[in-house]
Amino acid sequence: MTSWDISSSGVEFVTSLVQDAMDDMAKDVKAYGKDVESAAGSAGTISGPYCGMAPTGPVGAALSVFVEKTLGDVMFLGARAAKSVNGAREATAYYVVGDTEMAARTQHKALAAPKIDLPGKGGKK
């Protein structure tokens, strides 16, 4: 294995920037959800007068399918970033105390794809 030369303050600085970006992304995803819902409700239908709840029009249905099909990708982005940041911080902590073997294991573990529990697919809601 090659030698390590890590600046723990540099890792903390970079991971804090990534954390800030993740926080911004979480706000954007929330806004995206509200905006798509609003767009679907405002898209209208091609039906005549109705009683009760308004039927979903073709644009609203298409937006719903789009969100459903891309939900896993959107959730993966946040989970991947969080796993990378946490892995970098944890591996650096092991490095600082001199345990380069645990640092390498932690770094390797952080490279694995995160597990995503999608709502309605046997996962958590």
> DSSP assignment of 53-65, as one string?
SPPP-HHHHHHHH
pTM strictly above 0.75: no
Give domain limits for the chain.
Answer: 9-42+56-111
- Do residues 63 and 40 make contact, with C-beta atoms less than 8 angstroms apart? yes
With both helix axes pointing from N to C terminus, report the angle between 58-96 and 100-111 in degrees, rounded to the nearest 10: 170
Tokens found for residue 118: 């999608």
- Tens place of pLDDT per residue across the chain (125 aa): 467 788 999 999 999 999 999 999 999 998 988 898 888 878 776 665 666 666 678 888 899 899 889 988 999 999 999 999 999 999 999 999 989 999 999 999 999 999 988 776 654 44
Q: Which residues contact 40 (CB under 8 A, 6 or more apart)?
A: 56, 59, 60, 63, 64
